[in-house]
Amino acid sequence: MKLALFDLDNTLLNGDSDFEWSQFLIRIGILDRELFEVKNQTFYDQYKAGTLDIHAFLDFQLKPLSRHARSTLDMWHEQFMRESVMPMITQPARELVQQHRDAGDVCVIITATNSFVTGPIARQFGIEHLIATDPEHQDGEFTGRVAGVPCFREGKITRLNNWLAEHDWTLASFEDSTFYSDSLNDLPLMNCVQHPVAANPDATLRAHAEQHGWPVIALR
C-alpha cells in the first residue's frame, strides 16, 4: 500500500484557490474591493515569502463565511468552481492524480486552504481524502473561527498524523509515501515522506530540491 499526498494551490491547481475565493467574492460584490483586495494580495505575498501569520490570515478569510447562510455560500461556490477553479485545473495535474488512483494508492489532498473552499475541488479530482484547515461551524453555519490546528507548515504534519491515526495507520504503514508541493511552506512535511517531489516549485523549494536531489516536475 502506497500513500500519495498532494498540495492543492499552485500544485494541482495552476493558481491559488484561497486567494481566488476572496477575489471572486470581491468581483461579485460580496466583499468591498477597497477594503479587501489589498489585504488579500498582502496575505498572498506573505504566504509566498514564507512569512504568513496563519491566524491573522484565517481571521481575514473565515469571517466572511459567518456573514452568510451556508446555502448562499454553496450557491456562490458553484459559480466559483465554474468561473475560477475549473480553468486552473490542468491536464497534467489530472493525469498525475489518475496515475496514482490507477495504481491503487491512497490519495490525499493536504492543503492550508479551508475545507469549505477545497472540498468540491478534491471531488473534482476524484480524491476521496481531504485534509484541510477546518472552519468552525455551529448548527451547519460557519462561526468565522478556525476549528483545531490549521493545516499549515508544521500543522500539516500534525493534521496528517491525526488523520492517519483515525485510520489506524502511521506513515510506516505504507511501503512508500510521496508528497507533491510547490511551496517552501511545505518543507516540514516534505522532509517526513519517503519521496518529496517539487511540483511547479517556488524559487526556495526549487533550490532545496536541487540541493537534495528531489525530483522537480511541472504540472502546468
pLDDT tens, residue by residue, 86-142: 999 999 999 999 999 999 999 999 999 999 999 999 999 999 999 999 999 999 899
CA 156/CA 140 separation, integer angstroms: 25
Q: Does residue 35 surpass a pLDDT of 90? A: no
Whether 36 contacts 26, CB under 8 Å: yes
Say which of 9, 16, 18, 105 is annotated catalytic. Answer: 9
Decide if domain 2-217 falls under CATH 3.20.10.10: no
CA 197/CA 213 separation, integer angstroms: 10
pLDDT given for residue 215 in this prediction = 98
- If you average pLDDT over every residue of the chain, what do you get? 96
CA 206/CA 37 separation, integer angstroms: 29
Say which of 7, 105, 182, 186 is annotated catalytic. Answer: 7
pLDDT given for residue 186 in this prediction = 97
Active site residue 7: yes
pLDDT tens across 140-163, in order?
A: 899 999 999 999 999 999 999 999
Over residues 53-58, the mean pLDDT reads: 92
Active site residue 139: no
pLDDT given for residue 103 in this prediction = 97
CA 51/CA 170 separation, integer angstroms: 30
